[in-house]
Amino acid sequence: MPSFDIIKTSEVAESFRNSRVFGMFDIAKSNTQTFELHGEINLPEQWNIGCIIGPSGSGKSSIANEVFNVTPLPIWDDQKSIVENFRSDLNVDSIISHLQGVGLSSPKTYILPYQSLSNGQQFRANLARMIAENDEVIFDEFTSVVDRNVAKASCVAVSKIIKRLNKKFIAISCHYDIESWLEPDWKFDTGTGDFSCECLRRPKIEIKITKGDTTYWAMFHQHHYMTSSISPSAQIYLTWAKLDDEWNLIGFFSTMPAMGMKGWVRGHRTVILPDYQGLGIGNKMIELVAQWLWETRHIRFRATTSAPQIVKYRIKRPEKWRLVNGVEAKMPSGSNKKLKTSAGRLTTSWEYIPI
């Protein structure tokens, strides 16, 4: 049961300007200013995610440092790429799994130096390294440097990867909106002094699919992990998500006829904008379109992918996806050998199973 008694005393110098502040705001004149914070954090026996939340200046960082020891942000060598900066004992597959696990899903960013990334991408890269290199992460100023859509998506991604790896993560933040998206096992509010294991649950994300045309590709092409081209004959589907009562265009999906297979279409281009990666919407987008094609036009859907996160998702859902990578296609025990090309790239082909 971690407890804390934090007392910080600061000297106040005698000066004209300080005296003016005392007088202007009717502050009792003193040579010292003292900040005190006392309390207990009654950690549950089993937990993965905690949250220390409260207004600025309410003692969050002091508690984090005194009780848990804040994890320092990684130091990046900008002469090296993102993947080269991870600890040397981590293999590339593990590194990529962590990067994608926190929602940094564009492989093009993995080979860039840290300084070349956007604020949101840098935030996710820091998250990935901290989780990969530590069993317990205490992240101060969590989501403070990113906009709130990135914050929400990052919270969902962190919640998933921490629970999957059975690690521990404590978010320190002044942003109360992270609670419902992070779904912590416990929280301590420095504003009220309250500790609770009854935390808010994640709100449902409403999504809708509309038809579009190839002109929308201009908004998404730079985020596709392999190519910026698109066939002029592709069928375009746009995905919208409702966050905080506002609809945002976040996803692009297109299909093409499957050559030599009457009544089938194949996946052509799939992109979720970086700010919204980690919410799990990409797979849902594909499945909604595939189901709609079957229900309205009696057309079946198939796709080939080398994206590890999509492969993992489909392996776990045999009721929705059938692996058709060869006549006797199956995932080999402890190996992906049969699913790799001669270049060593994981390649799988799938059929969607309509309801």
pLDDT digits (tens, 9 = 90+) for 160-198: 999 999 999 999 999 999 999 999 999 999 989 899 999
User: What are 223-249's pLDDT values in tens digits?
Assistant: 887 778 999 999 999 999 998 788 999
Residues 38 and 174 in one domain: yes
103, 108, 113, 119 alpha-carbon torsion, rounded to 10°: -40
The reply to whether 177 falls in a domain is: yes
Residues 114 and 192 in one domain: yes
- pLDDT tier at 14 (50, 70, 90 boundaries)? confident
Q: Report the pLDDT averaged over residues 30-53.
A: 86
- pLDDT tier at 12 (50, 70, 90 boundaries)? confident
The reply to whether 201 falls in a domain is: no
- Last-in-domain residue among 174, 196, 218: 196
In the three-class reduction of DSSP (H, G, I as helix; E, B as strand; rest coil), residue 292 is classed as helix
Residues 145 and 229 in one domain: no
The reply to whether 247 falls in a domain is: yes
Spatial separation of the C-alpha atoms in residues 250 and 153, rounded to whole Å: 12
Task: Compute and round to an integer the Cα radius of gyration of the chain.
Answer: 25
| CATH number of the CATH domain containing 140 | 3.40.50.300
Q: Report the pLDDT averaged over residues 283-293.
A: 97
pLDDT at residue 328 tops 50: no
Domain that holds residue 229: 206-352
The predicted structure's pLDDT at residue 337: 44
Q: Please give the distance of CA 30 from its chain centroid, rounded to a whole number.
A: 47
Residues 85 and 48 in one domain: yes
Residues 232 and 153 in one domain: no
Residue owning tokens 């007392």 = 7
The reply to whether 237 falls in a domain is: yes
Cα-flanking dihedrals φ and ψ of residue 307, to 5°? -75, 115
Strand partners for 252: 238, 271
Residues 101 and 171 in one domain: yes
Percent of the chain with pLDDT over 90: 67
- pLDDT tier at 334 (50, 70, 90 boundaries)? very low
- Last-in-domain residue among 172, 196, 220: 196
The predicted structure's pLDDT at residue 253: 97
Q: Report the pLDDT averaged over residues 128-149.
A: 96
The reply to whether 72 falls in a domain is: yes
Q: State the pTM of this model.
A: 0.83
H/E stretch holding 217 reads: helix 217-220
Mean pLDDT of the chain: 89
Residues 236 and 187 in one domain: no
Q: Which long-range contacts (CB under 8 A, 24 or more apart) does 245-254 make?
A: 247/208, 248/149, 248/276, 249/219, 250/275, 250/276, 250/281, 251/276, 251/281, 251/282, 251/285, 252/212, 252/216, 252/217, 252/219, 252/220, 253/285, 253/286, 253/289, 254/230
Residues 51 and 158 in one domain: yes
The predicted structure's pLDDT at residue 198: 92
Residues 230 and 291 in one domain: yes
Contact 278, 308 (CB under 8 A): no
- pLDDT tier at 132 (50, 70, 90 boundaries)? very high
- Last-in-domain residue among 141, 176, 196: 196
Q: Report the pLDDT averaged over residues 259-285.
A: 94
Residues 314 and 347 in one domain: yes
Residues 57 and 185 in one domain: yes
| CATH number of the CATH domain containing 309 | 3.40.630.30
Cβ neighbourhood burial of 173 (10 Å; 0-12, 13-18, 19+): buried
The reply to whether 326 falls in a domain is: yes
Cα-flanking dihedrals φ and ψ of residue 179, to 5°? -55, -50
- pLDDT tier at 345 (50, 70, 90 boundaries)? low
Number of domains in the chain: 2
Q: Report the pLDDT averaged over residues 193-205.
A: 91
Residues 28 and 76 in one domain: yes
